[in-house]
Structure 1
Amino acid sequence: MDKDVNTGETQLVKMIVFAVGEQEYCIPILSVREIRGLEKTTPLPFAPPYVCGAINLRGIILTVINLATYLNVAPEPENPRRVVVIIEASDGTVCGLLVDRVIDMADIKPSDIQVVAEKGHSLSGLVMIGERMIGVLKLDVIAHELINGMQAE
C-alpha cells in the first residue's frame, strides 16, 4: 500500500472516504492529488461506457471515470455535490474519479481490512468504520482497466 502513518505500535493508513450512490468507498489519501468540482467533460470516442470524458487540468488532459457506472452502482440523482477526485496510481497513471460526495477521512489499520475479492478485482476488501461498512478500492486495478479499455477500442 502507500506510505503509512506510524502511531506507536500500530500502523495506520489515512484514507479518504466518499460515496457513490448509497455505497461508501475509500482510497489512500496519498494517492489523491486534488479534489475538484464537477465540470463539463469532453466526450472521448470509442471509450468504455464508464468513461465520462476528458478534462483539462492546467494543461494536462485527464480521463474521468464515472465510478457509479464502473462499479455498477446507481448514482445519486440530481446531486449538486458531485466532485472529481484526481488520483495517481502506483504506476504513475493519473485520472479523475467522479464520485457523488466526499464524506471524511479515516485512519485505518491494514489488518482491519477484510479481504473479499480475488486478484484483478477493483475492490480489495471491506472495513468497518463505526457502524458503516466501507469498500476499499484498488486504484491500480481501476487505472489498469482504464488503460486497457481505451486501447482495446
Structure 2
Amino acid sequence: MTEQTELKEATDTKIVKMIVFAIGVQEYCIPILSVREIRGFEKTTTLPFAPPYVCGAINLRGIILTVVDLAVYLNVPPQTDNPRRVVVIVESKNGVVCGLLVDRVIDMADINLNDVQAVSEDGSCLGGLVLVDNRMIGLLRLETVVGQLVTDTISE
C-alpha cells in the first residue's frame, strides 16, 4: 500500500467515541460529546399529561430537566429494582438538554461509523447495529429521541 492510500483510508475512517449503556439485556451507544454528565437516579417529579416514557423532571443545579425512561421508550421491561440505574444528561445538536434513564453504563468504545449496519428506516430511534468485541450494540439516534420528546411535550 502506498502512503497516499494509507492516508486516504485514515481520513475515510470515521471513528467516534461513544458511551455504551444497557437497557435490559441489549446494549446501546450515543456519542460521548453529547453527554454532559452521568448521575445517580433520584426521585423525579411527575409531569401531568406527559408521554408514558417520561418518568418526570429533576432539578439539576437550578435547571429543570425532563427525564426519559429509555426502557419504556424502547418498549423493553424496565429494571425498576436495579440499583445501578443512572441518568445520563445529554444535549442534542439543537441544544435541548434532558436526562436518559438507563439500566447501567458499561464503558466507552471507539465506533467506526463505516462498520455500522443499518437496520431500520429513517425516523427510527435506532441508527444501526455495530459489533464491538463480539457484542452487538445499537447505535441510538439521540436527535430522534430528543425530537420525539420535544414534539410530544409541545403537542400535549
TM-score bracket for this pair, using the shorter chain length: over 0.9
Kindly state the Cα deviation for residue 77 of structure 1 after the two structures are TM-superposed.
4.7
Q: Which runs of 5+ in 2 are unaligned?
A: 1-8
| Structure of higher CA gyration radius | 2
Of the three residues 105, 116, 128, the one matched with 2:119 is: 116
Which of structure 1's runs of 4+ aligned residues deviate more than 4 A? none
% identical equivalent positions? 67
**Which consecutive residues of structure 1, in runs of 5 or more, have no partner in the other structure?**
1-7
Secondary structure (helix, strand or coil) at the match of 1:115 reads coil
Asked if 1:105 is matched to 2:129, the reply is: no
Among candidates 43, 60, 64, match of residue 57 of structure 1: 60
Equivalence for 2:140: 137
AA of the residue aligned to 2:70: L
Structure 2 counterparts to residues 2-151 of structure 1, below 5 A: 9=10, 10-151=13-154
Deviations 1:44-93 (A, max 9, x none): 01000000000000000000000000000112351000000000011111
Contact persistence 1:22–1:76 (CA under 8 A)? no
Q: Distance in 1 between matches of 2:94 and 2:123?
A: 15
**What is the TM-score of this pair, normalised by structure 2?**
0.91
Q: Which structure has the highest helix share of the two?
A: 2
CA distance in 2, matches of 1:43, 1:29: 28
Number of corresponding residues? 146
In 1, the alpha carbon distance for the partners of 2:53 and 2:78 equals 12
Is the contact between residue 87 and residue 95 of structure 1 (CA under 8 Å) also seen in structure 2? yes
SS in 2 for 1:68: helix
2: CA distance, partners of 1:54 / 1:75: 18
